[in-house]
Structure 1
């Protein structure tokens, strides 16, 4: 990551060099994660795509290499729904340090029935939140070994209208897919803010930042066959919505800035500038329900118990 002071406004099309840095993006083979990987690869960094599916990761890497000459990308087999596999996956990174991890991968279900991970956790909460919570513990030594490590948690605009039910975090008693998804993303965001509070208290050099893509639609996204394919007709029909939302390429901008910008501080929230839905990335106020320390502490304790994690997630 660039450590020199910025002399010009942030330009999403002229990113600073990150030569010598290594970034891991969970779910980097598709959607927002793919475009974050493509943009970060253009900075000269090594970009690792965390993905369960080798074939999809290979397709994503081929697409990046076709657009970024000399791109240094690799694949890490990563299954956030299988907590027991994460320690081994991190060992397979074979790194001495990691400059940033982007907690991006996620599951979004639209219809019942309620589903569970291999560990018996509700699928969206278990993958989106608990998987990343547990992964952070195993990555902690690598992040701490970097000159200025970062954990960038990708939230969602959907989390703004939700509130955590600490008595039913896994929607065991009242499962509604869209609400459960929104709450899983809210849990992720609460975790990101709480992690930074704990890192600051521990005197760590690692920063935790939260970012979200705003409203990002496939139909407004430039094609990247076979990663993302939209017809001219679909793009034409979507043009009116571009007044309010954007494509997934632009949705990646706040995440990329949270990784690269030397002016970003821990505990911040970054999102699109126009109503939090579209536009260039900016630092935005954090809604109080996302940054409530009491709620976050309870969520942290429950998550720690569910994944059998170290109380400090490996950061000392």
Structure 2
């Protein structure tokens, strides 16, 4: 059952990255149901329009709009932030991510490994661009979506972009661990600076398409898919349920900066609960090294307003 805030999200503007499909879609749907104005940040605006149509079919009076967002292209971020057209932003959900399965290592226009660039570096730079808007909103929040996969990974600061040893699943898990390390380090730095913005880290557990309800025209789950997925439902859940920890982290005022939230049952399924992060997710030396490397690679720092748009 979706956690509701009693429409305490009325009047709030929230940006959700990667909101046109999967968990990001359900985050947007649930936030809209709680009264928020939701900006769907998506690389494909046609898919964003379909997501908006699907949400409006279920949420009467939903306040939604799309903005084009390509996290792999750092030079495009200033235009994205300008297109938001707002002076303040109550929260940003750093959800978008790419999982590549092919054996070939892929890079973006700046030569950054594509999963690390999209999942971590793009969000790192986006928060820097959004900083003035987040600062302008009282009790704003940065909610970073990590992954259960990050539990078993360790970050190698000397090989952040998998140049020496590229394995797709491992590189993906490390990119999600980088996000989580960033979220906890952002909390420490925000608190040290006396900022009003909170940084909260979440993960959706094990969320399967086959356990997720249909949302036409975005996707339709067949009866056969549902039946085949029933055994998996013992330990996993659908993407609509995976979104609940994220929505809770955005809206629950009792959740404070620096906390980690995920599903209750073995961290894989169930209602949201607070978790104790693994030591490698909060390691100060690793987080500090990652922050410094990310600032060097993107040319900006999330706690400093970017002076000029970054160029490829």
- Answer whether contact 2:131 2:302 (CA < 8 A) is retained: no
The residue correspondences of 1:281-292 to structure 2 (distance < 5 A) are: 281-292=272-283
Q: Structure 2: how far apart are the matches of 1:252 and 1:63?
A: 16
Any unmatched runs of 5+ in structure 2?
307-312
TM-fit CA distance, 1:15: 3.1
Alignment deviations for residues 73-116 of structure 1 (CA, whole Å, 9 cap, x no partner): 00011100000110121011110100000000000011211101
Within the alignment, does 1:63 sit opposite 2:34 as a pair?
A: no
- Answer whether contact 1:189 1:210 (CA < 8 A) is retained: yes
Q: Structure 2: how far apart are the matches of 1:282 and 1:118?
A: 39
Aligned twin of 2:213: 222
- Answer whether contact 2:113 2:161 (CA < 8 A) is retained: yes
- Answer whether contact 1:147 1:205 (CA < 8 A) is retained: yes
Within the alignment, does 1:169 sit opposite 2:171 as a pair?
A: no
- Answer whether contact 1:28 1:36 (CA < 8 A) is retained: yes
Within the alignment, does 1:122 sit opposite 2:106 as a pair?
A: no
Q: Structure 1: how far apart are the matches of 2:144 and 2:199?
A: 8
Q: Structure 2: how far apart are the matches of 1:229 and 1:311?
A: 39
The residue correspondences of 1:201-280 to structure 2 (distance < 5 A) are: 201-280=192-271
SS in 1 for 2:253: coil
Q: Structure 2: how far apart are the matches of 1:226 and 1:183?
A: 33
Alignment RMSD:
1.1
Within the alignment, does 1:37 sit opposite 2:28 as a pair?
A: yes
TM-fit CA distance, 1:16: 2.7
Alignment deviations for residues 179-217 of structure 1 (CA, whole Å, 9 cap, x no partner): 000000000000000000000000000000000000000
- Answer whether contact 1:218 1:228 (CA < 8 A) is retained: no
- Which one of the candidate residues 6, 22, 40 is aligned to 1:16? 6
- Answer whether contact 1:136 1:313 (CA < 8 A) is retained: no
- Which one of the candidate residues 137, 155, 163 is aligned to 2:128? 137
Q: Count how many residue pairs are aligned between Structure 1 and Structure 2.
A: 305
Alignment deviations for residues 111-149 of structure 1 (CA, whole Å, 9 cap, x no partner): 211101122100000000000000000000000100111
Q: Structure 2: how far apart are the matches of 1:307 and 1:13?
A: 36
- Which one of the candidate residues 82, 100, 108 is aligned to 2:73? 82
Once superposed, which parts of structure 1, at least 4 consecutive aligned residues long, lie more than 2 Å away? 11-16, 310-315
- Which one of the candidate residues 97, 103, 107 is aligned to 2:94? 103
The residue correspondences of 1:170-185 to structure 2 (distance < 5 A) are: 170-185=161-176
TM-fit CA distance, 1:39: 0.3
Q: Structure 2: how far apart are the matches of 1:149 and 1:34?
A: 21
TM-fit CA distance, 1:228: 2.4
- Answer whether contact 1:116 1:123 (CA < 8 A) is retained: yes
**TM-score for both structures, normalised by structure 1:** 0.95
- Answer whether contact 2:43 2:70 (CA < 8 A) is retained: yes
- Answer whether contact 2:14 2:36 (CA < 8 A) is retained: yes
Any unmatched runs of 5+ in structure 1?
1-10
Q: Structure 1: how far apart are the matches of 2:172 and 2:147?
A: 10
SS in 2 for 1:210: strand
Q: Classify 1:40/1:31 alpha carbon distance in 2 versus 1 (closer, same or farther; 3 Å).
A: same
- Which one of the candidate residues 133, 137, 147 is aligned to 1:156? 147
Within the alignment, does 1:73 sit opposite 2:46 as a pair?
A: no
**TM-score for both structures, normalised by structure 2:** 0.96
Q: Structure 2: how far apart are the matches of 1:64 and 1:216?
A: 20
